[in-house]
A and B are shown apart, each in its own frame.
Chain A
Amino acid sequence: MKPKLAFYWCASCGGCEEAVVDLAEKVLDVVAAVDIVFWPVALDFKRTDVEAMPDGSIAAAFINGAIRTSEQEEMAKLLRRKARIVVAFGACAQTGGVPGLANLYDRESLLRAVYSESPSTLNPEGTRPAPHYATNGAALELPVFWDRVRALGQVIPVDYSIPGCPPTPKLLADAVAALLTGSLPERGAVLAPDKALCEECPRRESKPDKLAITRFRRPHETLIETDRCLLAQGLLCLGPATRAGCEARCIQGNMPCTGCFGATSRVRDFGAKALSSIASLTGSNDEAEIIRILENIPDPVGTFYRYSLPAAPLPGKRPNRAGK
């Protein structure tokens, strides 16, 4: 019997689903080798179908996206029961991802911004999403919108993570192959190399031994050279802090790494590590000058914690009030 796989999405943009589709012709190999028993984006199975499966009957569930609503939490827990292996697929599942930046605000501010204050909103009755809604005698149940965004691993035990925003098809194919051949590493591992990206960056040789950055530039502010280390050009490339495995795809596209592959296993706080190492590269010993240089970095939280705020030791702007 072919091993059963499940794919599910939680708070995510859909990019990770694209990564599966991007397997292209390889997708057929995968489909030939496994049974996909659940994949809401592509196949018409329902939650009840999963509930009907015996516990532990799915070989592996690939769950992408962070956990923001009650429904996502329920589905994560359901798949955890049914699957022998749960893989956090992509940055949002692994560390909270871009949706996790919402943790800089509480639920009330978010709802107020979206349902009242945003310039394009017309909502004179002040309607807000509610878990129970009755109209014309029909009752509607909606998921509860939690106060915080959580990474998958903060809701259920996760066996493996595949990093990336989104992960590369190659990493997915490698993971499936390892699953099929029983060559997965120890549980808890991140299925990507444990070195930083500079290692596989095609520009690494042009990186000078000593960087002394006197101005950080945003990509639109400069004509980016295509063959020189981006950091050496003053572009905030997070490659030195970011796990390798993406084949330096942003750099190949002449854009600096924003860190979607997260930290290496040895680092506990991606943002703090990246921030402190970048700060140490400023080319000045004068405090005022250093501040001036660093002020060129827009939105420090969004820059350094773009993909990992919920998983960080300081996971947001205010204390986590019971997570809900």
Chain B
Amino acid sequence: MTKPSARIGVYICHCGTNIAGTINVAALREFAATLPGVIVARDYKYMCSDPGQELIKADIAQHGLERVVVAACSPHLHEHTFRTACEEAGLNPYLCHMVNIREHDSWVHSGEAATAKARDLLRAAVQRVAWNRPLERRSIPIRQSVLVVGGGIAGIHAALTLANAGKKVYLVEREPTIGGHMAMFDKTFPTLDCAACILTPKMTAVKDHPNITLWTYSEVIGVEGFVGDFKVRVRRKPRYVIEDLCVGCLECIEACVYKQPKFYDEFNQGLGKRKPIYIPFPQAVPQVVVIDPETCIEFKSGKCKKTCLEACGERQAIDFGQQETIETIEVGAIILATGYKAFDASRIPYYGYGVYPNVYTALEVERLINAAGPTGGELVLRDGRKPRSVGIVHCVGSRDEHTNRWCSRVCCMYSLKLAHLVKERTGAEVYNFYIDMRTPGKAFEEFYNRVAEEGVHFIRGKVADVYPAETDGRLILRAEDTLLGQVRKIPVDMVILATGLEPQADATEVRRLFNISCSSEGWFLERHPKLAPVNTFTDGIFLAGCCQGPKDIPDTVAQAGAAAAEAMQLLDTGSIELEPNTAYVLEEVCSGCKTCVGLCPYNAISFLPEKNVAQVNEALCKGCGTCVAACPSASIRQHLFEDEQIFEEVVGVLA
């Protein structure tokens, strides 16, 4: 191909002193003016400002510019700005090219080297932009429905917000009930609201909402497509009970051949027992029982009398032959609200969890205190005694090199809550061992003061050891009290470990499934910590709640609302503009070797046997370039990344 000639304008931004403080912008402008094709070259304090953009527009009109090069910051920030400016002046936006002389240059180099590098980058851009071709954006409609993954308080709140705004929502929860961690608590800090009283109405609202399809005991297994048009496959695990027929009378549970509950009860952290046919907790939503095939006699031997089936009678809701089903849904946006998992306390051997029966995790105590819990809300030790003294250890598995470095943000506060509740229910002496007391939320410090006034003892020191006293078998907490400057050993009846929050065990798989990023710790990564806190780097996928990082319920709900608003905003734009940097097959020379077909991460390429060529679906292509690099006969090209453009850029940078 012969080199096109074009009238090029070059604009160099000072970015205040960000660029001009390091790079000699005047010299750069003079250099730019000497490059072939350059008609005007200017420098300006802030190119992205209105007057800066006006410079470009005026020159397009006055000098008939055919190409524009802006040397400024990262295209991530302002490519859109300058393309739009060109478009407004009647120039196709894709004839505008940005050179990053800030992040790639002035911020990382100094002295003459910085200006020299800017010259190379600019020369490369001027050479490449001559080859740019006008491109058209494509627009596709956005599907008016949202998938919410995870039915904790985050997912519940997001789903309800969207549904109330008239959007169709699919809520997918992998447990048999929604509610998440919050459903386990009795009271919530700092207001001591009854968790069930505020949560269960929302749970029922989800179930009853005409705009919400609730699928519990279900998991997302496949995600295809892109913002505005995701295709999601959901596996609905068999619960051996037909959801539409079960009325939640629970007569089957009563009738089970096991007269007494006998098996580990997950919801109650194993403190209680359940039968093979069960409901996780009385207010579970949906009010539908589940059969656990691992413990049900019928599943294990096929020889059960099936008294449950008899009890269900005409309702015929129990179906031992139920199979899993795979549903496919199409949604415009996705909100991930998969929450957290509590730190496994047995990872810290010197606290004796799992060794000494009277060492509990906070979640266990939440269940013990809960009126619907295994003890009906009585806080008793495993032997049925009421504890007379209780030690609460803060920061278990948090803020520690050996476990997790982060602060889990809620443990100080829920430890105060538990201290209050324990004292209220048992009258016991309560000792809170903390490293720092972190109470930065609204009404948090006041709550701390209140609990202190109630007579809870606060000891500032990290507990080094928990061990049984030789005399009476009570548990001794040993810690250095850093305020007194001495080691203290305090015997108690019960130890509560305030375990921190961790990413879900399967966070990495979930991240891959949805093609989003994780921080190194495993929390899902927001697009920008300040300005895009619920967006991800994948358009159309948003985050809510603890899957993004530890937080309390108020923050979770606020974030869920924000995620819902972002999703709504996206849906309400109606259609979405797709970047035109897509790949295309040169059909007349494609050999049909199929190398590209299986490589596209977005399944955008199909093979047309009748023509013996590959074909790129432009709506699916994300412009990743994989196929372009792989096509062994170079029969796929990519808009905006044409060979000539790239080679000219390489030649320019090396010249």
Complex partner residue of A277 from B589, B632, B643, B647, CB under 8 angstroms: B632
Is there a chain A Cβ closer than 8 Å to B26's Cβ?
no
Is there a chain B Cβ closer than 8 Å to A67's Cβ?
no
Which of A212, A240, A243 has the largest number of chain B CB atoms within 10 A? A240
List the B residue with the shortest CB-CB distance to A211: B598
B629 to chain A, nearest CB (A): 6
Contact status B591-A210, CB under 8 Å: no
Complex partner residue of B635 from A211, A264, A276, CB under 8 angstroms: A264
A181-210 with Cβ < 8 A to chain B: 194-199, 204, 207-210
Is there a chain B Cβ closer than 8 Å to A11's Cβ?
no
Which of B589, B607, B612, B632 has the largest number of chain A CB atoms within 10 A? B632
When A204-B612, A209-B607, A276-B630 are in contact, do A266 and B595 touch as well, CB less than 8 Å?
no
Complex partner residue of B632 from A199, A244, A274, CB under 8 angstroms: A274
Contact status B594-A196, CB under 8 Å: no
Is there a chain A Cβ closer than 8 Å to B61's Cβ?
no
Is there a chain B Cβ closer than 8 Å to A76's Cβ?
no
Chain A residues near B342: list those with CB within 8 A.
Answer: none
A48–B592 Cα gap in the complex (Å)? 51
List the B residue with the shortest CB-CB distance to A266: B634
Number of A-B contacts (CB under 8 A): 79
Chain A residues near B607: list those with CB within 8 A.
Answer: 209
A211–B612 Cα gap in the complex (Å)? 17
Give the size range of A's interface with the partner. Answer: 20 to 34
Is there a chain B Cβ closer than 8 Å to A280's Cβ?
yes
Is there a chain B Cβ closer than 8 Å to A236's Cβ?
no
A194–B599 Cα gap in the complex (Å)? 23
Chain B residues near A277: list those with CB within 8 A.
Answer: 595, 630-632
List the B residue with the shortest CB-CB distance to A279: B630
Chain A residues near B593: list those with CB within 8 A.
Answer: 196, 198-199, 207, 239-240
A208–B590 Cα gap in the complex (Å)? 16
Chain A residues near B597: list those with CB within 8 A.
Answer: 209-210
A225–B598 Cα gap in the complex (Å)? 23
Complex partner residue of A280 from B586, B591, B630, CB under 8 angstroms: B630
Which of A196, A207, A241 has the largest number of chain B CB atoms within 10 A? A196
Chain B residues near A276: list those with CB within 8 A.
Answer: 629-630
Is there a chain A Cβ closer than 8 Å to B295's Cβ?
no
Chain B residues near A204: list those with CB within 8 A.
Answer: 592, 612
Is there a chain A Cβ closer than 8 Å to B633's Cβ?
yes
The B contact surface, by secondary structure, is loop
When A195-B633, A209-B607, A266-B635 are in contact, do A240 and B595 touch as well, CB less than 8 Å?
yes
Complex interface bits, B611-641 against A, C-beta within 8 A gives 1, otherwise 0 = 0100000000000001001111111000000
B2 to chain A, nearest CB (A): 13
Complex partner residue of B594 from A194, A209, A244, CB under 8 angstroms: A209
A197–B598 Cα gap in the complex (Å)? 19
B441 to chain A, nearest CB (A): 43
Chain A residues near B590: list those with CB within 8 A.
Answer: 195
Chain B residues near A111: list those with CB within 8 A.
Answer: none
Is there a chain B Cβ closer than 8 Å to A281's Cβ?
yes
Is there a chain B Cβ closer than 8 Å to A112's Cβ?
no
List the A residue with the shortest CB-CB distance to B588: A195
Is there a chain B Cβ closer than 8 Å to A273's Cβ?
yes
A207–B612 Cα gap in the complex (Å)? 12
When A195-B591, A264-B589 are in contact, do A240 and B632 touch as well, CB less than 8 Å?
yes
Chain A residues near B635: list those with CB within 8 A.
Answer: 195-196, 264, 266
Complex partner residue of B591 from A244, A263, A267, A281, CB under 8 angstroms: A244
Chain B residues near A243: list those with CB within 8 A.
Answer: 633
Chain B residues near A198: list those with CB within 8 A.
Answer: 591-594
Contact status A273-B594, CB under 8 Å: no
Chain A residues near B647: list those with CB within 8 A.
Answer: 268
List the A residue with the shortest CB-CB distance to B627: A280
A313 to chain B, nearest CB (A): 11
Contact status B612-A199, CB under 8 Å: yes
List the B residue with the shortest CB-CB distance to A205: B609
Contact status A266-B594, CB under 8 Å: no
When A194-B589, A198-B592, A198-B593 are in contact, do A240 and B598 touch as well, CB less than 8 Å?
no
A272 to chain B, nearest CB (A): 10
Complex interface bits, A116-157 against B, C-beta within 8 A gives 1, otherwise 0 = 000000000000000000000000000000000000000000
Contact status A199-B591, CB under 8 Å: yes
When A195-B589, A239-B593 are in contact, do A267 and B598 touch as well, CB less than 8 Å?
no
Contact status B632-A241, CB under 8 Å: yes
When A198-B593, A209-B607 are in contact, do A240 and B633 touch as well, CB less than 8 Å?
yes
Complex interface bits, B576-591 against A, C-beta within 8 A gives 1, otherwise 0 = 0000000000100111
A277–B631 Cα gap in the complex (Å)? 6
List the B residue with the shortest CB-CB distance to A264: B633
Contact status A266-B589, CB under 8 Å: yes
A281–B630 Cα gap in the complex (Å)? 9
When A199-B612, A204-B612, A280-B599 are in contact, do A263 and B633 touch as well, CB less than 8 Å?
yes
Chain B residues near A240: list those with CB within 8 A.
Answer: 591, 593, 595, 632-633
Contact status A266-B643, CB under 8 Å: yes
A243 to chain B, nearest CB (A): 8
Contact status B643-A197, CB under 8 Å: no
B6 to chain A, nearest CB (A): 23
A46–B45 Cα gap in the complex (Å)? 74
Chain B residues near A281: list those with CB within 8 A.
Answer: 595
Chain B residues near A208: list those with CB within 8 A.
Answer: 594
A236-283 with Cβ < 8 A to chain B: 239-241, 243-244, 263-264, 266-268, 273-274, 276-278, 280-281
A273–B612 Cα gap in the complex (Å)? 21
Complex interface bits, A279-292 against B, C-beta within 8 A gives 1, otherwise 0 = 01100000000000
A198–B612 Cα gap in the complex (Å)? 10
A240–B586 Cα gap in the complex (Å)? 15
Chain B residues near A263: list those with CB within 8 A.
Answer: 633-634
Contact status B595-A280, CB under 8 Å: yes
A130–B643 Cα gap in the complex (Å)? 46
A260 to chain B, nearest CB (A): 15
A198–B591 Cα gap in the complex (Å)? 6
A169 to chain B, nearest CB (A): 23
A294 to chain B, nearest CB (A): 15
A312 to chain B, nearest CB (A): 15
A203 to chain B, nearest CB (A): 12
A242–B635 Cα gap in the complex (Å)? 12
List the A residue with the shortest CB-CB distance to B607: A209
Complex interface bits, B556-596 against A, C-beta within 8 A gives 1, otherwise 0 = 00000000000000000000000000000010011111110
List the A residue with the shortest CB-CB distance to B590: A195
Chain A residues near B633: list those with CB within 8 A.
Answer: 195-196, 240-241, 243, 263-264, 266-267, 273
Contact status A264-B634, CB under 8 Å: yes
A244–B591 Cα gap in the complex (Å)? 9
A204–B612 Cα gap in the complex (Å)? 9
Chain A residues near B598: list those with CB within 8 A.
Answer: 209-212
A190 to chain B, nearest CB (A): 13
A196–B591 Cα gap in the complex (Å)? 5
Chain B residues near A273: list those with CB within 8 A.
Answer: 632-634
Chain A residues near B632: list those with CB within 8 A.
Answer: 196, 240-241, 267, 273-274, 277-278
B-binding residues in A (CB < 8 A): 194-199, 204, 207-212, 239-241, 243-244, 263-264, 266-268, 273-274, 276-278, 280-281
**In the complex, the 8 A-B pairs of residues with the closest C-beta atoms, listed nearest first:** A210-B598, A196-B591, A241-B632, A240-B593, A266-B634, A277-B632, A196-B633, A199-B591
A-binding residues in B (CB < 8 A): 586, 589-595, 597-599, 607, 612, 626, 629-635, 643, 647
Known: A194-B589, A199-B593. 19 other contacts (CB 8 A): A195-B591, A195-B635, A196-B591, A198-B592, A209-B607, A211-B595, A212-B598, A240-B591, A240-B595, A244-B591, A263-B634, A264-B633, A264-B634, A266-B634, A276-B630, A277-B595, A278-B632, A280-B626, A281-B595
Could you list some 18 contacts between A and B, CB below 8 A?
A195-B590, A196-B593, A198-B594, A207-B593, A208-B594, A210-B597, A211-B598, A212-B598, A239-B593, A241-B633, A243-B633, A244-B591, A266-B586, A266-B643, A273-B634, A276-B629, A280-B626, A280-B629
